[in-house]
Structure 1
């Protein structure tokens, strides 16, 4: 289970506020300046940290903890997340359109094995939001027999 992720954004507070709206959560200042914590207060402590664009986790020296440092901002992110949310697909699409961000429903059978709302934060970071009616499809698609049918045999035993 993944309990939290972090992303960066050009407008961290705006992004955190939009994510909180979709997730029906709250936004807090995070420990790093100009960064924010989005909490839905689920049973798992799940959250997203939104840093300012270019901030990245880097290893500390020797025995020091990881630190957030400024780097050259990337245009797009190689990572993405699929997240269950309590918000309807239509409302998620309305929020994305209001923000001017790419958003589209991907329906099972439309090249994907489960339905999601593809939501591009600031048109650069991908979230696949799954309203309650999409979650069962995802769970079915992630079973060992379904994965083997899609991906073939695993590379390790």
Structure 2
């Protein structure tokens, strides 16, 4: 289980606030990296998303732990994650629209996701309850390996 992860945003406070709203949680400052915020789902798993200022790199720091270094701002990247929420699909889309973020209801074949693009640069696959049930059915330990082997390549998603 992943308890938290981090992404970068040009406006971390706003991005964390919108993510927290999608999760039905709250956003708070993240003091270890000034200017960062933590969107907390407030569930029994400690689920959350740390949102750092764009350009932040996490670098190894040896026994004292990692350090945060700010580099150039970023754009699109390869990082994305799936986020199960108790929020219904219509509300997810309304929140994303209000934030001014791209939002697409997508059929991945064995399951659906709502792509919410944080600041129109970082994709989050939001899974309202029905979509989460589909995803969990697909990723059951007794099913996922064979299902992925059968899935093939989705050329429409490649450029």
Tell me the TM-score normalised to structure 1 length. Answer: 0.88
Quick check: 1:125 aligned with 2:134? Answer: no
Task: Please state how far the C-alpha of 1:72 moved relative to its aligned partner.
Answer: 2.0
1:151 aligned to which of 124, 149, 152: 149
Instruction: Report SS of the residue matched to 1:63.
Output: helix
Which residue number corresponds to residue 155 of structure 1?
Answer: none
Task: Please state how far the C-alpha of 1:146 moved relative to its aligned partner.
Answer: 3.9
In structure 2, how many angstroms separate the alpha carbons of the residues matched to 1:145 and 1:46? 25
Which residue number corresponds to residue 155 of structure 2?
Answer: none
In structure 2, how many angstroms separate the alpha carbons of the residues matched to 1:37 and 1:112? 32
Which residue number corresponds to residue 154 of structure 2?
Answer: none
The one-character-per-residue Cα deviations of 1:26-51 (angstroms, maximum 9, x if unpaired) are: 11111221100111110111111111
Please give the root-mean-square deviation of Cα atoms over the aligned residues, in Å: 1.4
Long gaps (5+) in structure 2: 151-159
Number of aligned positions between the proteins: 148
- Which consecutive segments of 4 or more residues in structure 1 shift more than 3 A? none
1:138 aligned to which of 129, 135, 145: 135
Long gaps (5+) in structure 1: 153-157
C-alpha contact (below 8 Å) 1:55/1:71 kept by paired residues: yes
Task: Please state how far the C-alpha of 1:131 moved relative to its aligned partner.
Answer: 0.7
In structure 1, how many angstroms separate the alpha carbons of the residues matched to 2:7 and 2:143? 32
Task: Please state how far the C-alpha of 1:63 moved relative to its aligned partner.
Answer: 2.6
C-alpha contact (below 8 Å) 2:20/2:40 kept by paired residues: yes
Task: Please state how far the C-alpha of 1:19 moved relative to its aligned partner.
Answer: 0.6
Which residue number corresponds to residue 109 of structure 2?
Answer: 112
Task: Please state how far the C-alpha of 1:151 moved relative to its aligned partner.
Answer: 2.1
In structure 2, how many angstroms separate the alpha carbons of the residues matched to 1:69 and 1:146? 38
In structure 1, how many angstroms separate the alpha carbons of the residues matched to 2:43 and 2:149? 32
